[in-house]
A and B are shown apart, each in its own frame.
Chain A
Amino acid sequence: MSATGIGAPVRRKEDFRFITGQGQYTDDVTRPGETRAVFVRSPHAHANIKSIDVSAAKTMPGVIDVLTGAQLATDKIGNLICGWMIHSKDGSPMKMAAHPALAATKVNCVGDAVAVVIAETVAQGKDAAEKVKVDYEVLPAVVDPAKAQAKDAPQIHPDIANNTIYQWHLGEKKDVDAAFAAAKHVTKLDIVNNRLVPNAMEPRAALADYDAGTDNLTLWNTSQNPHVARLVISAFIGMAPEHKLRVIAPDVGGGFGSKIFIYPEEVVCLWASRKVKRPVKWTSDRSEAFLTDAHGRDHVTHAELALDANGKILALRAKTIANLGAYMSTFSSSVPTYLYATLLSGQYNIPSIYCEVDAVYTNTAPVDAYRGAGRPEATFVVERLVEVAARQMGIDPADLRRRNFITAFPHQTPVIMAYDGGDYNASLKKAMEMADVKGFAKRKRDAARNGKLRGLGYSTYIEACGIAPSQAVGSLGAGVGLWESAEVRVNPTGSVEVLTGSHAHGQGHETTFAQLVSERLGIPIENVSIVHGDTDKVQFGMGTYGSRSGAVGMSAIVKALDKIEIKAKKVAAFMLEAAEGDIEFKDGKFTVAGTDKSAAFGDVALNAYIAHKFTGAELEPGLKETSFYDPTNFTFPAGCHICELDVDIETGKVDIVNWTAVDDFGTIINPMIVEGQVHGGIAQGVGQALMEGAYYDANGQLVTGSMMDYTMPRAHDLPSFHVGLTETKSPSNPLGMKGCGEAGAIASPAAVINAITDAIGTENIAMPATASAVWTALQKLQAPKAA
């Protein structure tokens, strides 16, 4: 292994600019004559708009224009769309309600934009926004997914009965029912997967610039996938033809899924820029972010597990109601279906599985993919069921897991996924050793002496990453293919630019991708730069989410590098006057087999461009190759997390005292970055389990609308993590990578709740398990005394 190649813990190249405040984020970009957009937002969760009067606002100082949804409709700006078609059990297509970028006749959640002020400054825009008079007829609201389908629930969208978007299912109900009828033991759980607010450090922003001379539009925005944004904004919203729209996602400060989607604000900025013929910028403040960023999770589930007398799992069934909020966000339909139910087999050999999912509208912010997207919800269902079943049957939870682990691959689950490899026993064993499970009983006794209830919880999770074979996702309803592209440009001096369709917003691609190139071409990592996030530079790409940039994005780079090597060998053959087949490439040097004749990579690059050694008839000059890589399968990262914690009997406060994570991510490019991804993921998962929860009151007001009420995990809430790895290579991509971005967030909530319930002796605790919630659960148990 070279010091900068695959497997080396190279320091992140991008961090210097980030930690010295020199990153260039969307809000840092300024254009001459820039104006600012300030949105007028609905204070009501559900209301008819009787009238909007912008006349007073228009006369305010610094105001250039005030635009409304009516004008948007006149200008034939299309609605926002959800790009993944889901069909209900009865074959009917999902019911996608109209989602205009500015509401014209009705608002459906607090924060719905009804008008936009374009002003010289933000302050002037805000002053004017207060003068926009909107006459609302307030309607009753529904926020709870479990109540959205009730007969007396307010109907949110015309023609969409019972607020039901689809009633989908997966699996064979007949087989499952038969297995349950024959089962010796059935475990049943009611589970709420709490709604989360993503809270990326950088709030969303958009800057649109219309060039009247060329009729071109440029959009800088906080996007995880600028090409997809361009495609949707031109093909569906009709803003401009694709070749007249350039989307640039510069440095982006965190996404966690929330920046995958196409949002109203960027559409409005583009439209407004064309109207006022000046650049228009909008930067969300934190309050707007809480209200308008797509939220995550929000499932209500009843789940059951059937087992035989020996603790062998026979079947699993689940019924989930998924809250998609007021409108269907860009990929929202796929999250509680194909990203969720397909993972309900966990690491286990489960002969039959049946899952029903109803997706509903409510008067809340849209819900879409958030770190893990569907897979954390699935893992929570499976890992809670397994843990509770073990306790109920008096079987050690680790043992019950072992009895049911899949050990032979490939393994076809009853829910679409075909697992291609893994070693679940290995990660469980290693994690149990690292966590010193053997010494737990003693530690529990010691803790009890200090008034603490100690608990230990497992989560042996699996996820499907590297999304995904285009044909497969197409057959499941995806509106796009999920390949990735790469272009490798070797310069005449031998330095290299890699253009990738992946997008980095914290993941460290500028380092890991460069490590791959450094290793393959034998050149220093400083000689490689990674270019991403600009539709004018990168030909096309699908972006970064679903832990796909390594498994799919880097595979595309590998394919392009393969082509570079082939072409470079041809050049070297001319230079060294040898047959192409005799040229070998190793450690940055081309040699003629069996001789000492060689040419360095840089010389070959130069010769490719000066083209003095071959004629145009013999070889095209230049050294630049492109590849589009479509994966052959999902990848299946898996592992075991063990959480050990103390519950303060008097206050209910939970303190995590030890965290062990053993993950199988396949090939690791940079272990330091991987460890960082695991840390961040666990922090978010622990946040979900112990702290985070978005609450709307019955009127649809977001009670947790700021950091004063929405609890984000802080460094001091978390212990030092013990992170380990096992490795089985993914057979589905050339590098054998599986992906690591979401694992922590997927694995950890179940580990925490399994540990708390182990400590307090009741399964009856919902997330977030705040001190107050745990104390209340303990009271219901009539104050157990520490042993």
Chain B
Amino acid sequence: MYNFTFHRPTTVRQAAGLLARNPDGKLLAGGHSLLPVMKQRLAQPSAIVDLSLVEGLSGVELKGRSVSIGAMTRHADVANSQVLKDVMPGLASVPGSIGDPQVRNRGTIGGSIANNDPNADYPAACLGLGATIITNKRRIAADDFFTGMFSTALEEGEIIVRVSFPVAKKAAYEKFKHPASGFALVGVFVSKRGPDIRVAVTGAGSNGVFRVTSFEEALKKRFAAKSIEGMTIPATGMNSDIHASPEYRAHLVAVLARRALAKANA
């Protein structure tokens, strides 16, 4: 790790100010993505702006027909939220599948989304539910937020404050774990909220999280595994590495989508 200055603001406004004064500074949330790359000397931020003392950034709240999750809410707290388990257990299961207890007790939803690791779980949930990412500057629809591997619509110095998920009547996540890292080799989030049907995929695409519109179309008739029986997606555009071929990833998308649908309807 290289040297850096360490700041602990107590308001979002102070944090934004610190970022403005330190152009290559970085926000620190749970540190479970940022610190490993700093320790490996792959990142060299001159300043760290720690969000842990900023008030009002954590908690899970039901606000009318949506669930609002503060950016600094730890994975474990989302997974264990009774409010969320009651209204949308499918979303609560997402952070429950992340890493191990240490990771879940430190990592945050804001950090995960801002990082947009192509194998991360939360991006699938955000896109699969049509969430809104609320920053200190604006509201961004999930469809516009995730712009590719490790890249998002966030501007320099923009801070995620919370994420708002519309409550879907049916929602489920099915994850096939990467054998080594435990991230999603492929993860599929499905949801149905009135006429809005979404199938979002993480882990598989070489450009990060994406929606499977062909499946979504087919599911309009009936939101059930049967409706996409036998359907596949092309292997082009899928990731390829020692762990899985593009064909295998494409195949898993269809398998996991069917399993998620069965779960959502259970």
Contacts and interface: CB of A to CB of B under 8 A. Distances in A.
Contact of A776 (B2, B245, B255): B245
B244 A772 contact: yes
Contacts of A289: none
Contacts of A703: 242
Contacts of B1: 123
A770 B179 CA distance: 8
B41 interface: yes
A539 interface: no
A295 to B, nearest CB: 16
Nearest to B251: A775
Given A711-B180, A771-B179, A704 B248 contact: no
Nearest to B183: A708
B255 A772 contact: no
B180 A707 contact: yes
Interface string B176-187: 100111000000
B65 interface: no
Interface in B240-256: 242-245, 248, 251-252, 255
Contacts of B102: none
A772 B180 CA distance: 13
A650 B230 CA distance: 12
A772 B243 contact: yes
B5 interface: no
Contacts of A651: 176, 252, 255
Contact of A710 (B41, B180, B252, B255): B180
Interface in A101-145: 123, 126-127, 130
A210 interface: no
Interface in B188-232: none
Contact of B245 (A691, A704, A711, A772): A772
A704 B251 contact: no
A776 B248 contact: yes
A709 interface: yes
Contacts of B41: 126, 130
Interface residues of B, number: 16
Contacts of B176: 651, 653, 771
Contacts of B181: 707-709
A710 B179 CA distance: 8
Nearest to A779: B247
Interface in A638-652: 650-652
A767 to B, nearest CB: 13
A691 B248 contact: no
A90 B7 CA distance: 70
Nearest to B252: A651
A695 interface: yes
A707 B40 CA distance: 14
B44 to A, nearest CB: 11
A650 B251 CA distance: 9
Interface in A668-708: 691, 695, 703-704, 707-708
B255 A770 contact: no
Interface residues of A, number: 24
Contacts of A650: 255
Interface in A195-251: none
A287 interface: yes
Say what secondary structure dominates the interface of chain B.
loop
B180 A708 contact: yes
Given A651-B252, A651-B255, A695 B242 contact: yes
Nearest to B258: A650
A707 B252 CA distance: 23
Contacts of A127: 2
Contacts, number: 41
Most chain B CB within 10 A, of A287, A652, A708, A712, is at A708
A437 to B, nearest CB: 30
Contact of A704 (B242, B252, B255): B242
A151 to B, nearest CB: 29
Contact of A775 (B2, B40, B242, B248): B248
A587 B255 CA distance: 67
Contacts of A123: 1
B235 to A, nearest CB: 12
A31 to B, nearest CB: 25
Contacts of B40: 287
B16 to A, nearest CB: 30
Interface string A617-657: 00000000000000000000000000000000011110000
Interface in B133-160: none
Contacts of A770: 179, 243
Contacts of A710: 180
A450 to B, nearest CB: 13
A127 B2 CA distance: 8
A677 B166 CA distance: 52
A711 B251 contact: no
Nearest to B179: A711
A303 B118 CA distance: 43
Contacts of B180: 691, 704, 707-712
Contacts of B244: 772
A677 to B, nearest CB: 25
A690 to B, nearest CB: 8
A707 B181 CA distance: 7
A772 B250 CA distance: 12
A419 B181 CA distance: 44
A785 B5 CA distance: 61
A772 B177 CA distance: 12
Nearest to B186: A651
A652 B255 CA distance: 11
B242 A709 contact: yes
Nearest to A770: B179
B24 to A, nearest CB: 18
A236 to B, nearest CB: 35
A710 B178 CA distance: 11
B258 to A, nearest CB: 9
Contacts of A708: 180-181
A775 to B, nearest CB: 6
Interface in B22-69: 40-41
Most chain A CB within 10 A, of B40, B244, B245, B248, is at B248
A28 B245 CA distance: 44
A570 B216 CA distance: 91
Nearest to A690: B179
Most chain A CB within 10 A, of B2, B176, B179, B180, is at B179
Interface in A701-731: 703-704, 707-712
A653 B176 CA distance: 10
Interface string A335-363: 00000000000000000000000000000
A689 B98 CA distance: 25
Most chain B CB within 10 A, of A650, A652, A772, is at A772
Contacts of B251: 775
Nearest to B3: A123
A651 B179 CA distance: 13
Contacts of A652: 248
Contacts of B248: 652, 772, 775-776
A105 B240 CA distance: 37
Nearest to A693: B242
B203 to A, nearest CB: 13
20 contacts: A130-B41, A287-B40, A650-B255, A651-B176, A651-B255, A653-B176, A703-B242, A704-B180, A708-B180, A709-B180, A709-B243, A710-B180, A770-B179, A771-B176, A771-B179, A772-B243, A775-B248, A775-B251, A776-B245, A776-B248
Q: Top 8 nearest A-B pairs by Cβ distance?
A: A711-B180, A711-B179, A708-B181, A772-B244, A650-B255, A772-B248, A709-B180, A695-B242
Interface of B: 1-2, 40-41, 176, 179-181, 242-245, 248, 251-252, 255
Given A709-B243, A711-B180, A776-B245, 18 more contacts: A123-B1, A130-B41, A287-B40, A650-B255, A651-B176, A651-B255, A652-B248, A653-B176, A695-B242, A703-B242, A709-B181, A709-B242, A710-B180, A711-B179, A770-B179, A771-B179, A772-B244, A775-B251
